[in-house]
C-alpha cells in the first residue's frame, strides 16, 4: 500500500534531514520533488498544486527554517497536511436513531461491491449489530448466489427473491422484513452500473427515494486512480453519496485515488479494503494512513487487529504457560494460526515503524507457515506436548507424513527450543506481563 509513493517521499526527506540548516531554496527544491512524486502517484493535478502550496506557506516560516531540526519540522508539516487532505478524522457510518440503519452500496461493475457489502456486514456483526444483506443486483448473473454464499460464510442472512426483476420492490420488501425480524442494519447490494447510463442511474434514484437510506456508500476500485475520482464525482452529482469505500488498496502502490477523492468530491473515505479475505475491511483513519505513507507505521491498527484475533482469556492462559515453561508445539501451531488470521505478514510488518524499510528486499514466504503447521499436525499428541521424545526415527516418520525432510524437522525443533529459551528470559523478568490483546 503506497509503496511507490512512500519510497520517493522517503528519499526526499532524507536529503532534508541531512541538512543542519535549511534555506528557502532547499524547501522549494524539495517541494518540486514532492509535486513530481504526487503526480507520478496519479494524484489529481489541482489537489497536488493546492497541497504543495499549503505545505510551502507553512514550511518557509521563520520558526521552521531557524529551528534546531528544520528537516523534521518539514516532515511534520507534510504529515499534518496529508491528514487534512485525507479528511482529518475517521468518519463513521451514521446509525439511524430508529433502526434499521439502511446502507445503500453503489458503484461500477467489477469494483468489488458485493464482496465489500459482505465485509461491511461482518464489520457490523463484530460490533454487536444484527445486519441483513439484500441481493438487489438483478443485472449480473449469479450475483444473488454470490451474496448468498458470502452471507453463509459469515452467518448473516441474505434477503433475495427471483420473483421480480424490480430492485426497487426488492429493497422495499427487504426493509419491511428487516423490521419484522429485528435487524438493525440493512445493506443493499445494488447492481454495478456505468455512471453514463441514464436509465440505470435513474433506477438508483428510485431505490434511494423509496427506502430513504441513512447512508449511500460508493465502492470504488483504488487501482483505477483518477478514473475512480472522476467516477465518484459523477455519482455524487447524479445520485448523492455520503461516503466512499476504496477497494484493492493492498495492491495500490501509488495511492492517487485515496489522496484525491475526498478533496475532489468533498466526501469522506469511510473504509478501505486491505485484502481479499472477508474480514479485511479497515475503517479509514487519515492520520494512520498519513503515517503509513511517510513510513511511520500504523501501530494502532496493528493492535486493533491483534485484539480482534486474540481472545484475552486465551492470552492469559498462554502467559501462564510461559511462566510454567509448558509452551508446546500445539501452542506454537495455534499462535501461528492466529497470526495468519490477521492478514498477510508483509502487511502487518508494514504497520511497524521502520519495518517497511528494513523488510524492503525481504520476501515473506507464507508457505513456511503452512509447512510448519503440516509438520506439527504430523506429530502424535505426545510428541507435540513433549519434544524430548522426538528421536531420529520419529523425525523420519513426521517428515514422511508432512511431505517435508528431516532437515525441516530439525530446523523447526531448533527454532522451537530457541523460542522457549527466549520465553525463559521473559520469565526471569518479574514485572513481565503480556500486553492486553497480545500473545506470542
pLDDT in tens, 99-115: 899 999 999 888 889 99
More confident residue, 228 or 344: 228
Domain parsing of the chain, residue ranges: 3-86, 101-296, 303-428
Comparing CA positions, the residue from 165, 179, 244 lying closest to residue 211 is 179
Return the exposure string of 175-205: e unless at least 16 CB atoms fall within 10 Å of the residue's CB, then b. beebeeeebbbbbbbbbbbebeeeeebebbe
Please check whether residue 186 is in contact with residue 117, taking contact to mean a CB–CB distance below 8 angstroms: no
Instruction: Provide CB contacts within 8 A for 167, sequence distance 6+.
Output: 136, 137, 138, 190, 191, 203, 207
Band of residue 358 on the pLDDT scale cut at 50, 70, 90: very low
Does 1.20.120.140 match the CATH number of domain 3-86? yes
Homologous superfamily assigned to 303-428: Signal recognition particle, SRP54 subunit, M-domain (1.10.260.30)
Asked if the model's pLDDT at residue 308 lies above 70, the reply is no
Q: Is 135 exposed, middle or buried (0-12, 13-18, 19+ CB in 10 A)?
A: buried
Mean residue pLDDT of the chain comes to 81
Residue 345: partners with Cβ closer than 8 Å, 6 or more residues away: 339, 364, 366
Is the pLDDT at 386 greater than 70, yes or no?
yes
Residue 204 neighbours by CB under 8 Å, 6+ apart: 106, 190, 193, 239
Q: Judge contact between 353 and 297, C-beta under 8 A.
A: yes
pLDDT one-digit tens code per residue, 416-436: 888 777 766 655 554 444 444
Q: What is the largest CA-CA distance in the chain?
A: 74
Classify strands 185-190 and 158-159 as parallel, antiparallel or unpaired: unpaired
Per-residue pLDDT tens over the stretch 6-58: 888 888 888 877 776 778 888 888 899 999 999 988 888 999 999 999 998 88
pLDDT at 293 over 60: yes
pTM of the predicted model as reported, rounded to 2 decimal places: 0.69
Q: Which fold has domain 101-296?
A: Rossmann fold (3.40.50)
Query: For residue range 58-83, what is the model confidence (pLDDT) as tens digits?
Result: 888 766 666 657 778 888 888 889 88
Least confident of 174-183, 274-283, 428-437: 428-437
Amino acid at each position: 500500500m503506497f509503496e511507490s509513493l512512500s519510497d520517493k517521499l522517503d528519499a526526499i526527506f532524507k536529503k532534508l534531514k541531512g541538512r543542519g540548516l535549511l534555506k528557502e531554496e532547499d524547501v522549494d527544491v524539495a517541494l518540486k520533488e514532492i509535486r513530481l512524486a504526487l503526480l507520478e502517484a496519479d494524484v489529481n493535478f489541482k489537489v497536488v498544486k493546492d497541497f504543495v502550496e499549503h505545505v510551502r506557506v507553512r514550511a518557509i516560516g521563520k520558526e521552521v527554517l531557524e529551528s534546531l531540526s528544520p528537516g523534521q519540522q518539514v516532515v511534520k508539516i507534510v504529515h499534518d497536511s496529508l491528514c487534512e487532505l485525507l479528511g482529518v478524522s475517521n468518519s463513521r457510518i451514521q446509525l439511524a436513531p430508529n433502526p434499521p440503519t439502511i446502507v445503500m452500496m453503489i458503484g461500477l461493475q467489477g469494483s468489488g461491491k458485493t464482496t465489500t457489502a459482505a465485509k461491511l456486514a461482518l464489520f457490523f456483526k463484530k460490533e454487536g449489530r444484527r445486519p441483513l444483506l439484500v441481493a438487489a443486483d438483478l443485472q449480473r448473473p449469479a450475483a444473488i448466489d454470490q451474496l448468498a454464499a458470502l452471507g453463509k460464510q459469515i452467518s448473516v442472512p441474505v434477503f433475495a427473491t427471483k420473483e421480480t426483476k424490480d430492485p426497487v420492490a426488492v429493497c422495499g420488501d427487504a426493509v419491511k422484513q428487516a423490521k419484522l425480524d429485528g435487524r438493525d442494519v440493512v445493506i443493499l447490494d445494488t447492481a454495478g452500473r456505468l455512471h453514463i447510463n441514464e436509465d440505470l442511474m435513474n433506477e438508483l434514484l428510485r431505490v434511494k427515494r423509496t427506502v430513504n437510506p441513512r447512508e449511500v456508500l460508493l465502492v470504488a476500485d483504488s487501482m483505477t486512480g483518477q478514473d475512480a475520482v472522476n467516477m465518484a464525482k459523477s455519482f455524487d452529482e447524479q445520485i448523492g453519496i455520503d461516503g466512499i469505500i476504496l477497494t484493492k488498496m493492498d495492491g495500490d502502490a501509488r495511492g492517487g485515488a485515496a489522496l484525491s477523492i475526498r478533496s475532489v468530491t468533498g466526501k469522506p473515505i469511510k473504509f478501505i479494503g486491505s485484502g481479499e479475505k472477508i474480514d479485511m475491511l479497515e475503517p479509514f483513519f487519515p492520520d494512520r494512513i498519513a503515517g503509513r505513507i511517510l513510513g511511520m507505521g500504523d501501530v494502532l491498527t496493528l493492535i486493533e487487529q491483534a485484539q480482534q484475533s486474540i481472545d484475552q482469556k486465551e492470552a492469559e492462559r498462554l502467559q501462564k504457560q510461559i511462566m510454567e515453561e509448558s509452551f508446546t508445539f500445539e501452542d506454537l501451531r495455534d499462535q501461528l494460526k492466529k497470526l495468519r488470521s490477521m492478514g498477510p505478514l508483509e502487511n502487518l510488518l508494514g504497520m511497524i515503524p521502520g519495518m517497511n524499510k528494513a523488510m524492503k528486499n525481504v520476501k515473506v514466504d507464507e508457505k513456511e507457515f503452512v509447512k510448519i503447521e503440516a509438520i506439527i499436525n504430523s506429530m502424535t499428541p505426545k510428541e507435540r506436548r513433549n519434544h524430548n521424545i522426538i528421536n531420529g526415527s520419529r523425525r523420519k516418520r513426521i517428515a514422511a507424513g508432512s511431505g517435508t525432510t528431516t532437515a525441516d524437522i530439525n530446523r523447526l525443533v531448533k527454532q522451537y527450543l530457541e523460542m522457549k529459551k527466549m520465553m525463559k528470559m521473559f520469565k526471569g523478568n518479574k514485572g513481565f506481563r503480556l500486553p492486553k490483546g497480545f500473545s506470542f
